[in-house]
A = this chain, B = another copy of it.
Amino acid sequence: MKIVKTISEVRAAVKAWRAEGLSVGLVPTMGFLHEGHKSLIDRAVKENDRVVVSDFVNPTQFGPTEDLASYPRDLERDATLCENAGAALLFNPEPSEMYAEDACTFVDMSGLTGELCGKSRPIHFRGVCTVVSKLFHIVAPDRAYFGQKDAQQLSVIRRMVRDLNFDIEIIGCPIVREADGLAKSSRNTYLNAEERKAALVLSQAVKLGQKLAADGEASADAITTAMKELIEKEPLARIDYVKAVDAVSVEPVSKMQPPVLVAMAVYIGKTRLIDNFIYEG
């Protein structure tokens, strides 16, 4: 596996593969890879001749008070994981390689981003859409892989690809969890032992919501209220949102008319964690 820092090196590698008629998969990440990322790379390796993993903590998707500076990084460990998983190329650019000083173009959307994380993180999805568009243009993959854990991001990327006619297949992959249920996240590393225990309320709330929906509860409000009550019992937890939305339009719903995305963001101490499930009916 090659590790490259420049756009021109990525393009040269992909062009050589294309000349051989090989297919290319892309797994965009912010690094500090865990088994969730590994599941994306594994799937990409199965479905494509060559896989590019991008490893870039994208500054434009962090708000001014967010954790850009402290976001965990470990390129060496990331490289080992990617190599073992069978990736062909790891793209780890500096911010200056990705953004010219006078860069002023952005990709954004007027829908899908008003609720959930888009509400709490107003410039987040503009940053995500912009950097993912750039990566799509740099790598020009056949397929790109995103985790269902960032459910709103997945909906936003699917919409962006449809609206802007990217000729790329978007593949969403299931949430990977720790043995006790906590969704894998690079941000779990922020948690101390006590917070790590408290963080279980997120997956417990997911399970509760799933059970209520499966048992036939038709009111989205009843489900999210029950989930909130469970989370509020945990003293270290502070709810940002627990909300049911249409899984495609990301608009709030009152009935559990599938597909419904039930998503939450919860602070455990200072760490903001997310989790969700999709009710398919």
A interface, CB within 8 angstroms of B: 7, 11, 100, 102-112, 129-130, 133-134, 137-138, 140, 159-160, 162-167, 249
Contact = CB atoms under 8 A, between A and B. Distances in A.
Contacts of A102: 111, 249
Return the 10 tightest CB-CB contacts between A and B, nearest first: A104-B111, A105-B163, A137-B165, A105-B109, A104-B109, A104-B110, A103-B163, A134-B165, A105-B160, A138-B165
Copies of this chain, tallied across the complex: 2
Listed residue (A104, A112, A162) with the most chain B CB atoms within 10 angstroms of its CB: A104
Specify the main secondary structure of chain A where it touches its partner. mixed
B110 A107 contact: no
Nearest to A15: B167
Given A137-B167, A167-B11, A112 B104 contact: yes
A129 B133 CA distance: 13
B104 A163 contact: yes
A112 B109 CA distance: 20
Contact of A159 (B105, B111, B160): B105
